Amino acid sequence: MSGFRLVRNARAVRTGDYPFAHWISVHGARQALAEMARCPHYRPTPLLDLGGIARRAGVHRVFYKNESPRFGIGSFKALGGAYAVALLLAEHAARHLGRQVSIAELASGSLRDVTRDITVVCASDGNHGRAVAAGAQVFGCHCVIFLHEGVSIGRERAITALGATAVRTQGNYDDSVRAAASAALACGWQVVSDTSWPGYEAIPARIMQGYTVMALEVLQQLQAMREEPPTHVFLQGGVGGLAAAIVAHFREELGAARAPTFVIVEPERADCLFQSALAGDLRASRGDLDTIMAGLACGEPSPIAWSILAAGADFFMTIPDDAAVAAMRLLAMPEDGSSPVIAGESATAGLAALLALASGEQHRPEADPQLNAHSRVLLFGTEGATDPELYRELVGRDACPSAALEATA
């Protein structure tokens, strides 16, 4: 593996219609935000202006959407997994009661007698499972999470602390996805997966729609700061759900002329989207998925996410693990003396890619995102220290709660 690799998506559609609205839309994002805003724990997550990083990268601005405080579970996944559980249970309760049911009514606990017979299940590298477990706990149903052998004990404990049952499986993430689907079929459970497959698309699309709330918040926050939309957006890969959601929303909301350049970033050993971009069709990772970026250790893309990224993403890039760890340390111990930002190992892929491009570690004339002194870069810090022990091992210090709160104020 060469570590840093960059490829331009020659098949990207830059004008005309995009194949997005079939799955997710700006209208759907506003509906999702309206539902979430009724929940007492909803707060927009901070958008940080990282001036020191911008100077280091030689760009005008670097904005960092800090998802570590999201709904108290430490990652953006609550916008998808918990939201999908809420919609599923609301529909179940509505059929039972013969009337509409809101997410807020579910959260009140008044309908637990109606929802307690439902069991939701999914596979997870940690964060999605935690979000689904949190949704089950808040909205009132049972939950089973399948974890492959590479998921840390710390992340398993965070899931079981929410009342879910954790089931360990052999193999990698994709093996655990298949195990969860098989168990659901045998037991009559409801799969709440963030990846799709033929015949299973509606719930992953809902999860992606939930993720678009981040894009809505970003545009509102930039407007409040009197800042223009970004010129470049770096997005984590994984199965592609997060990246596809953000790409789709920005493309529709801003239009072709104002849409930013999108760079999709993956670990070098979990490069299914990069390989799909090279082939022009769905491909599995060529790596062994052995990466410190646990949330991105996915070997197969989500087909509906890929359909969006194939048309809407501009570049695909891979990074080595040590680059992500270096970015974690840079945020935790800023060189300019600014407040520390606590970021988990999957949160810094975009920052690591930006710094590599800025330093010339990966530059090819035929694949150049054209970053310059006028660029306004948006990064998504998708998780905080969701495994505190691993964070301490990688960064060399604890994820200090007071520092994290100060940084997100």
Last residue of a domain, one of 165, 193, 221: 193
Are 166 and 222 part of one and the same domain? no
**Same-domain pairing of 258 and 369:** yes
pLDDT of residue 20: 64
User: In this model, does residue 332 exceed pLDDT 90?
Assistant: yes
| Residues 251 and 345 grouped into a single domain | yes
Domain that holds residue 109: 81-193
Please, are residues 214 and 144 in contact by the beta-carbon 8 Å criterion?
no
The answer to whether 254 touches 283, Cβ cutoff 8 Å, is: no
Q: Residue 344 half-sphere exposure, CB side, CA atoms within 13 Å?
A: 27
Same domain, 236 and 157: no
As given in the structure block, the two tokens for residue 332 are 């935790």
pLDDT band at 404 (very low <50, low <70, confident <90, very high): very low
Mean pLDDT (the chain) is: 92
CA-closest candidate to residue 241, choices 160, 125, 68: 125
Q: Are residues 290 and 368 in the same domain?
A: yes
- Per DSSP, the three-state class of 376 is strand
Looking at residue 13, what is its pLDDT? 77
* pLDDT tens digits for range 103-117: 989 999 999 999 999
Both 282 and 380 in one domain: the answer is yes
From 193, 212, 246, give the residue that closes a domain.
193
Which of residues 193, 223, 247 is at a domain's end?
193
> Are the C-beta atoms of residues 358 and 58 closer than 8 Å to each other?
yes
Q: Are residues 241 and 355 in the same domain?
A: yes
**What total of structural domains would you count in the chain?**
2
Q: Is residue 198 part of a domain?
A: no
178-to-79, 122, 146, 165, 382 alpha-carbon distances in Å? 23, 10, 10, 17, 25
Cβ–Cβ under 8 Å, residues 66 and 408 = yes
Please check whether residues 30 and 149 belong to one and the same domain: no
Given a cut of 60, is residue 16 above it in pLDDT? no
Look at residue 59 in the predicted model and tell me its pLDDT.
97
Catalytic residue numbers read 77, 125
Higher-confidence position of 291 and 336:
291
* Mean pLDDT of the 148-155 span: 91
Q: Residue 294: which of 182, 186, 394, 193 has the closest Cα?
A: 394
At residue 407, the pLDDT reads: 39
Checking if the pLDDT of 373 tops 90, the result is yes
Are 391 and 324 in a shared domain? yes
CATH number at residue 146: 3.40.50.1100
Q: What are phi and psi of 170, to 5 degrees?
A: -80, 160
Report residue 336's pLDDT band, with 50, 70 and 90 as the boundaries. confident
pLDDT at 123: 95
Do 98 and 56 share a structural domain? Answer: no
- Per the domain annotation, does 218 fall within a domain? yes
